[in-house]
Amino acid sequence: MANIVAIIGRPNVGKSTLFNRLIEEKKAIVDNQSGITRDRLYGTVEWNGKEFTIIDTGGFVPNSDDVFEKEILKQVKIAAEEATLILFMVDVSTGITDLDDKLSRFLRKTNKPTLMVVNKVDNHSRLLEANEFYKFGIGEELLPIAAISGSGTGELLDRLTKMLPEAESSQYDHLPKFTIVGRPNVGKSSFLNTLVGYERNIVTEIAGTTRDAIHTHYNHFGKEFVLIDTAGIRKKASVKENIEFYSIIRAIKAIDDSDVCFLLIDAVVGIESPDLEIVRKIISAKKGLVLLANKWDLVDKETNSAKEYEKKYRSQLEPFVDLPILFISATEKQRVFKAVEIALEVYERRKTRISTSKLNDVMLGEINHTPPPSVKGKFVKIKYITQLKTHTPTFVFFCNLPQYLRTSYKRFLENKLRKHFDLEGVPIALVFRKK
């Protein structure tokens, strides 16, 4: 399974600031007001050749009678159960508080590896003051950092990645892994049951019935793969039960462990913001993607309904529009097995290798026909393209001034790659280096 690192701590110790620093983008809202993180955020971090998912847990859950103890401790228990490693974060500027003490007592009872991270250590005096946190007896050392400036975060990542285990091998590692994701009650378990031909999972109309990631080995009709059925992912604002937090972590793990994801949506309801969040996670994890509009049998249809719906879905999914879209009914067994055939095609496309000579012949021709626009009087010249040996297609463009390439032109290059080399359903990476 994928490695998950959870940042836990009382409100306002700097968890979101550290999270943003580690994923290198401002995804979490940062504010001096305690409890500003009301959703749970996740991101992908790569360091020293290891990749892991980091979870920024909220400081408290709204509408709780006892936000500083009961709800935070619930989150810590879930993090301790599901995370590979925990970062226990405290604030040197305020010293030890009662809530810090409660959290530390719980963590000492768990068997999960935990790193003691002391934040806001930005001078020598505070470095000395940080030593008081040794009294918690967590870990062999303290890791002093200043998340806002990044001081000490490199050492933290070095220590963290050394403690993360290598990926475990499985008898099914050689098989394609297809994860079924989507919001609650879109028909994920029905889809799986139709595929395997028996009641592998309980199928019910109750949203959130599947609260774990369940693996099913499929070996029928000359096709063999592993299906992973995950819990429904709700819009974050509506995640109130802690069991939903648990489900979200499991779904993130399942996406990270898969090769291709089936994103199921309810064709009657359409694409909503939680679906787009799932798409972003799949793309950032560089997994294949097939969109399945389930419950198509319940939609009032006209002659061109499928084409109109597909056009609408692609406009909502921009800029990632190069993906297969299939209209299915899991209960009526419409196009369910076609979905598997398409997923297997996407799986093979993820392994695409294009020779350097062919890449340059095709892409330099496109670039010469439509060169990058000048920026501030600077002209970018792309001289050479090659593909890296990575799990998913990654292309390096060598040029004289990579910093002046506009996002729109990078998108143009991606579209041309997709047009010429059949990469439908596969997120690709473009890297621009100075030569």
Query: How many whole angstroms separate alpha carbon 129 and alpha carbon 34?
Result: 23
Q: Which amino acid is at 257?
A: D
- Bigger pLDDT: 184 vs 242: 184
Query: How many whole angstroms separate alpha carbon 61 and alpha carbon 56?
Result: 13
What pLDDT score does 171 carry?
66
Q: What is the pLDDT of residues 263-314, one digit of tens each?
A: 999 999 999 887 888 888 888 888 999 999 999 999 887 877 899 999 999 9
What pLDDT score does 65 carry?
52
Identical fold, 4-163 and 356-434:
no
Least confident range from 15-24, 117-126, 163-172, 314-323: namely 163-172
Q: How many residues does the chain have?
A: 435
Average pLDDT, the chain: 81
Ranges of each domain in the chain: 4-163, 177-350, 356-434
Query: How many whole angstroms separate alpha carbon 267 and alpha carbon 370?
Result: 39
Can you name the residues that pair with 219 across neighbouring β-strands?
224
- Confidence band for 115, pLDDT divided at 50, 70 and 90: very high
Query: How many whole angstroms separate alpha carbon 169 and alpha carbon 66?
Result: 43
Order the strands of the 382-387 sheet from edge to edge: 382-387, 394-399, 429-434
Q: What is the DSSP string of 281-313?
A: HHHHTT-EEEEEEE-GGGS---TTHHHHHHHHH
Name the one residue in this structure whose structure tokens are 């690192």.
5
Q: What is the pLDDT of residues 198-230, one digit of tens each?
A: 544 444 444 444 445 567 778 877 888 888 877
Query: How many whole angstroms separate alpha carbon 323 and alpha carbon 342?
Result: 10
What is the CATH T-level fold of the domain 4-163, as seen in this structure? Rossmann fold (3.40.50)
Nearest 5 degrees, angle CA 168-CA 171-CA 173? 65
| pLDDT for 73 beyond 80 | no
Query: How many whole angstroms separate alpha carbon 425 and alpha carbon 323?
Result: 4
Question: Residue 105: left if φ>0, alpha if ψ -120 to 50, beta else—which one?
Answer: alpha
3-state SS, 385-399, equals EEECCCCCCEEEEEE
In the chain, % of residues over pLDDT 70: 80
Dihedral pair phi/psi, residue 390, rounded to 5°: -120, 170
| pLDDT for 23 beyond 50 | yes
Nearest 5 degrees, angle CA 217-CA 221-CA 225? 30
What pLDDT score does 239 carry?
46
What pLDDT score does 208 carry?
47
* CATH of region 356-434: 3.30.300.20
Contact 233, 182 (CB under 8 A): yes
* CATH of region 177-350: 3.40.50.300
User: Span 345-358, mean pLDDT?
Assistant: 94
